[in-house]
Amino acid sequence: MLTRHICWYVAVLTYHLKIMASMMKVFLILLQTANVLQPSIPQAAGVQVFPPVNFTLTVSALAQVLLQWKPNPNQEQKTYTIRYDVKILSPVPEEYDTKKTRSIQTAALHNGFSAQVRTLLLHKDLQMRSDWVKEELPPLPGAPETSVTNLSCVTRITVSSAVSLHCTWLPGQRAPEDAKYFLFYRYEMYTEECQDYSKDKWNRNTECRFSVTHIDPEEIDNVIVIHINGSSKYAAIKPFQQLFKQNAIEKVNVPRNVTVFLEQNDLLATWEKPFSPFPEVCFEYEFYLFNLKSGNKQILKISSNYFRLRIDVTSRYSIQIRANHHICCTRGFWSDWSEIIYVGQNKHEDSIAWILSVLCVSMCCTFLLVAIICKINHVWSKVFPPIPTPSNKFRDPFPNDYQRAHTCTSETETEFGSFTEDLYCSPLDDSVF
């Protein structure tokens, strides 16, 4: 019974909450309607708001439009405050208000530009608006799908505190083979054309390099305008424009003076910030640690230039570090990894090498000892007996001469003192000596 009452109370409460939510929605709608209708109250009192006149759009630089207009001469001012509501319709929607009668906008103009403006009449808590006045710029001329695609740019801060610029792109899908592209960059009010191109197999420019630019390395998130137009004998090449935030396309330099060492069971690493005008707090780092023994990999994010980690001292490690922007400006491209630094010793590998060395020395000593023992005990002559001299199976072709020589020798030995008595031996003696 108690459970039924609880369920009933919950159902009633839910029903009342739904009714209250519906009433809140109606109240918000009425409030919005009141705000919309509010400007009509002064107009009913005899005040009329007129739109501005002579609204024009003028291209004043690469990817830059000057919006100008004049106050309506019929507009009654008296104690009213006059402002202007400006709305950019394309290429990127934006809305703002201003007291001035001119405004400068930076935008990619290859697909056209459109905007509108109206008068705002302010008096105490009342605000009245005029009708909109609209103007537009047509798209830049050229055949469709002939403009460049996949435009990508990267900046670097050099050691001399200059900023280099490198851009790459692909030709349009319908661009003729003879199409030639030309790149310009604009930074603030300075514009420069590229002089160093790389080409594809059809001899079309697809890459540009500026070793030195007018980009200020100490500025934060300024706009870099890239404009690429072209020419061809067979088609009108449509220009292309793109805007880049300065720090968003910066390739950060590699951290400097990386030092890694072991302290008992801890690995300690220190380094200096990349070459940059920004202070140390503007950078974050990635620490890449690879265990050569186990094959484990770790990438750790660090916000300082000091790192300490407990490691396995029986392993050998390789370390690399890279950097990027952190909190001072828009994140750019990560730097390249620093050079590999090795630390620690692989104990397992060292023990194997030591064992192999001991075995090699032991085998050499054993072999030498066996050789000495065999030499002393004449084992070599027993194991390897001398080869016997083969018997002479051939008959002597001169047996008489051999007999004479033998006779002469014996007589010579018996009668050593006399060399003149045995004349029959002289021919033999001549043949021997």
Q: For residue 163, is it within any domain?
A: yes
The pLDDT tens digits of the residues spanning 212-236 come to 999 999 999 999 999 999 999 999 9
The pLDDT tens digits of the residues spanning 290-341 come to 999 888 999 999 999 988 988 888 889 999 999 999 888 899 999 999 999 9
Pair 335, 287 in one domain: yes
Q: For residue 6, is it within any domain?
A: no
pLDDT for the residue numbered 147: 96
Pair 121, 212 in one domain: no
Q: For residue 363, is it within any domain?
A: no
Identify the CA nearest to 89 among candidates 121, 62, 60, 67: 67
Pair 204, 227 in one domain: yes
Pair 207, 233 in one domain: yes
Report, as an integer, the average pLDDT of 40-50.
Answer: 59
Q: Which of 192, 220, 249 is the last residue of a domain?
A: 249
Q: For residue 179, is it within any domain?
A: yes
Pair 169, 236 in one domain: yes
Q: For residue 400, is it within any domain?
A: no
> Is pLDDT above 50 for 7?
no
| Virtual torsion, Cα 147, 140, 186, 155, nearest 10 deg | -30
pTM check: above 0.75: no
Report, as an integer, the average pLDDT of 53-80.
Answer: 91
What residue numbers bound the domain in which 164 lies?
A: 149-249
Handedness of CA 306, 309, 312, 317 (dihedral sign): negative
> Is pLDDT above 70 for 256?
yes
> Is pLDDT above 80 for 73?
yes
Q: Which of 300, 321, 345 is the last residue of a domain?
A: 345
Q: In what order do the strands lie in the sheet with 341-343?
A: 297-302, 283-291, 317-325, 341-343
CA distance 280 to 286: 15
Residue 182 forms beta bridges with which residues? 229
Can you tell me which residue has the tokens 């697909």? 111
Identify the CA nearest to 60 among candidates 186, 176, 237, 179: 186
Q: For residue 219, is it within any domain?
A: yes
Pair 154, 200 in one domain: yes
Q: For residue 352, is it within any domain?
A: no
Pair 327, 284 in one domain: yes
Pair 287, 263 in one domain: yes
CATH of the domain at 76: 2.60.40.10
Pair 261, 334 in one domain: yes
Q: For residue 324, is it within any domain?
A: yes
Please count the structural domains in the chain.
3
The pLDDT tens digits of the residues spanning 49-62 come to 899 999 999 999 99
Report, as an integer, the average pLDDT of 84-112.
Answer: 95
Pair 245, 163 in one domain: yes
Pair 168, 235 in one domain: yes
Q: Which of 345, 364, 383 is the last residue of a domain?
A: 345
Pair 201, 131 in one domain: no
- Angle formed at CA 39 by CA 36 and CA 45, multiple of 5 degrees: 140
